[in-house]
Structure 1
């Protein structure tokens, strides 16, 4: 899936390695009125050992400040492999593609970021089959 974008990500994106992690806590709730705000940044660096929250949404807006209301909470993930997570990265859970990084919400930062993942419908951790120890990968989109 290709997300609409207010800016092209291709102007500076070179090759990068995958960013990996594992689920440390599964979440099972969803909201229709969450009120998250999309950060203007198209990428975030993550360090080994950091823990961030994974949130699904069916929203497609990518403009800075876009309100994200419809969300499903997957869980918290510890990053095992440091790197850069970019808008448009494919997200795999236990080797199965689940969605595409839409962007980031920083309402809880510096404690953690909410990594917003576009999915066709909002998903919770149990609906995605997650358990503590489930593997997550942020894979860069294929380049032609």
Structure 2
């Protein structure tokens, strides 16, 4: 086995050991957004997780980009809306985003171009989706569910 492969396996095992169980973070939509962009120019933060507090409002943005490396440029996006968090916790890259009864996608990462006002929470989806595509309405429940651990 090569040294590079051995290092990658060791890093994966360490990541699994450092991340134990966590609770679901949830909230409700406060505003629905209906537009898409092909040239948005968002940039992924280097952090795999963000702590969030009760009452914070963050923007939900879908993308078909798959690159989660720090600084990756995200251009193709669909805007779902803003969520007010009703339960504090940690949102991790890879968490399932559930809106109403539907799993919409997984957290790809975070863009902080509007921070400290809010984060853009980037959600990996097969195609970009908007609030109108999903027939979203204010007060729809949103949950960030922990990813399954091996």
Runs ≥4 residues deviating over 3 A: none
Corresponding residue for 2:135?
A: 129
Corresponding residue for 2:74?
A: 68
How far apart are residue 101 of structure 1 and its match? Answer: 0.1
Contact kept, 8 Å, 1:90 with 1:140, in 2: the verdict is yes
| Partner Cα separation in structure 1 for residue 17 and residue 58 of structure 2 | 27
Corresponding residue for 1:44?
A: 50
TM-score in terms of structure 2 length:
0.89
TM-score in terms of structure 1 length:
0.93
Which runs of 5 or more structure 1 residues have no equivalent in the other structure? 1-6
Shift in alpha-carbon separation, 1:67–1:133, aligned structure 2, 3 A: same
More helix by share: 2
TM-align CA RMSD: 1.0
Per-residue CA shift, 1:75-125, capped at 9, x if unaligned?
Answer: 000000110000000000002100000000000000000000000000001
Partner SS state of residue 18, structure 2: coil
Per-residue CA shift, 1:39-58, capped at 9, x if unaligned?
Answer: 00000011000000000000
- The equivalences for 1:50-61 within 5 A come to 50-61=56-67
Contact kept, 8 Å, 1:57 with 1:70, in 2: the verdict is yes
Contact kept, 8 Å, 1:95 with 1:136, in 2: the verdict is no
How far apart are residue 11 of structure 1 and its match? Answer: 4.1
Which runs of 5 or more structure 2 residues have no equivalent in the other structure? 1-10
**Count of aligned positions:** 138
The structure with more radius of gyration: 2
